Structure formats: structure tokens, C-alpha cells
Amino acid sequence: MSLALLIEQILNGLQFGVMLFLMAAGLTLIFGVMGLINLAHGSLFMIGAFACATVAAATGSFWLGLVASLAAAAAAGALVEILVIRRLYERDHLDQVLATFALILIFSEGTRWVFGSFPLYLDIPQLLSGAVHLPGGAQYPVYRLAVIGVGIAVAIGLYLLIGKTRLGMRIRAGESDREMIGALGIDIGTLYTLVFALGAALAGLAGAMVGALQSVQVGMGEPVLILAFVVIVIGGIGSIKGALIGSVLVGLTETLGRFLLPHLFGLFMPPSDAATVGAALASMLIYIVMALILAFRPRGLFAASA
């Protein structure tokens, strides 16, 4: 095991964690402000990826595709909130789960009807197509570093939005006492739509950036959604800081677990057995970490104040 390979895996874990943060930040905002369990969040991730791939193929510009992913996901999120989600706020969580699960099926089949079952592919833009040299002589793609940079920029932007602006003040108030801000004359319906659209746009941005690293296909958001829920449980529901820390923790645990555990078991097991056992344990490692954290911090690492 070389130093360059270890650094590469750490960077891969950070990049994976940043992508999870873009998903989890929207989820935790939506649940924290609205009290809504949104299983369709992964579908908004998929919409962003398909919008980016379609516009990039039509125009030849990845950057226009990126803008289209934000616009399409935000518009889809706002439309879903107005037409469907708004009727679920007073329902219990079981009704919310059933309704948003139905949205997954509608979005998946609708996307398959429009684009077909074959995957689409996004080319990495020329500006970000190179590689940088790591200590030890290995190379790392510039695009993956750019994804990490975008995630850090979004985290800073969300911190400033939530903590330093009038809209952020209203969002924080909505988390604490939504009836009171409604009584003060703030249009709670518009606030909910804005929050939902913001969360959707972040999911769409994540889908667009990931689409350049893998194929864009129907159902690509559901596996990411499961990990995003793990992130907000670890970080604390309603906490952007918790979403960031939890995302990085999950990304590094997932990536380094799959990389290091087979090497560790290889010290006292045959290579084939070590690879099998290591891969099996690595797939459980995130949930083991989640269970350990919840045993000591039942509300997560940085739960929002009640």
C-alpha cells in the first residue's frame, strides 16, 4: 500500500462525502422546516442528471447543462411541493412516505418513457479534464477535485444563507415555531416552496456532477438517497453542520473501508477470502458507525435545538 494510493482514496472519500452532502443538506432542510419525510428526493437527483445530460448533448456545453440541472430540479421540486406535498403537512409520516414513494414510481416511469431505458453519458468539460500530481507520483482527476471544491462552496453558501440573511432567519424560525411565524404575517406557503425548491436544486446539482463520473440512468438516485438518510441521522436532523460532518464521515468510512479492510484481513487470511470478507464487512461499516453514534448521541452529532 503506497502513500499516493492512500491519499487518492482519502480524496475519493471526500468527493463521495461532498456529493452526499448536497443530497443530505436538502433533505435535512426539508425535514427540519416542514417535518416532511421526502423519499422522492432521489428522483430530483435523477432529474438534475438527465437535464444536464440532455442540455449538454444538445448544446455541447457542460456548463449550460449544469445550469439546466439546477433549474429543472428546482422547478420540479417547487411543482411537487405545490401540487402534492402541500397536502401532506398535516398528515402523519406514514402518509408522507406512501405519497413520496408513489412520486418515485411516477418520476422513474415518466423518465423511462421520455428518455428510454438506455443510459445517457456526460463528458467531463475540457477545462476540468486534466489531472494533478499527488505526493508519491500518482495522479488525481481535476474534475473530482472540482466536485470537492463545489461542495465546500455550497456549504459556505448555505452557512451564510441560513445564518446571515433574512430568508435564513425565517427558515430557522420555521424550524422552531412555524405557527408563530405564520401569525406574524410571513407567508409560510411561499417559505415552504422556496425551501423545497432549494433542496431540490442541491439534489439536481449533485446528480449533474455525478453524471459526469458515471452513467445517467433511471433509478440512479435511490441508492444515494439511502446513504443521505444515514447522513442526516448521524449528523442530526435539521442541522446543516451535521449534514456536512456526517457526509464526510460516511464518505470516508465507505471508501476507506472498502480499500483498507481487504488489506487488513489479508494479513492473516488468503487473498481471495480477505477480499470477500473485507467487502462484506465494508458494506456494513457505515451502519455500524451509525449505530455506535446513536448509542451515545441518540439525536445525532449536531441535532438542531428542539
Best CA proximity match to 202, nearest among 86, 45, 61 = 45
Query: How far is Cα of residue 5 from the mean position of the Cα atoms in its chain?
Result: 26
In 12-26, which positions are buried (b, 16+ CB within 10 angstroms) versus exposed (e)?
bbbbbbbbbbbbbbb
- Alpha-carbon distance 221 to 40, whole Å? 9
- The C-alpha cell of 148 is what? 470537492
Whether residue 254 is contained in a domain is answered as no
Whether residue 251 lies inside any domain: the answer is: no
Does a structural domain hold residue 241? no
Q: What does the alpha-carbon distance between residue 263 and residue 259 come to, in Å, rounded to a whole number? A: 7
Give the three cell numbers for residue 94. Answer: 406514514
| Number of domains making up the chain | 1
- In a domain, residue 130? The reply is yes
Residue 80 covered by a domain:
yes
Give the Cα separation of 72 and 49 in Å (integer): 10
Sign of the alpha-carbon torsion through 244, 145, 158, 229: negative
pLDDT of 64: 94
Query: Which of 125, 128, 138 lies closest to 11 in space, CA to CA?
Result: 138
Q: How far is CA 146 from CA 8, 17, 19, in A?
A: 15, 13, 12
First CA to last CA distance, the chain: 46
Residue 46 is predicted with a pLDDT of 94
What are the φ and ψ backbone dihedral angles of 108, each rounded to 5 degrees? -65, -50
In a domain, 249, yes or no: no
Collapsing DSSP states into helix, strand and coil, what is residue 133? strand
Residues in the chain with pLDDT values less than 70: 1, 174-182, 184, 304-306
Query: Is 273 among the domain residues?
Result: no
Q: Return the amino acid letter for 204.
A: G
Cell numbers for 213, please give them: 463520473
Domain enclosing residue 115, as ranges: 3-219
Describe the crossing of helices 3-34 and 41-59 by its angle, rounded to 10 degrees.
Answer: 120
Cα 165 from chain centroid (whole Å): 24
Output the pTM of the full model. Answer: 0.87
pLDDT tens, 182-200? 676 777 778 888 888 999 9
How many Cβ atoms sit within 10 Å of the Cβ of residue 137? 9
Q: Greatest CA span in the chain, whole angstroms? A: 68
In a domain, 33, yes or no: yes
Tell me the sheet residues that pair with 132.
140
Predicted pLDDT at 50: 94
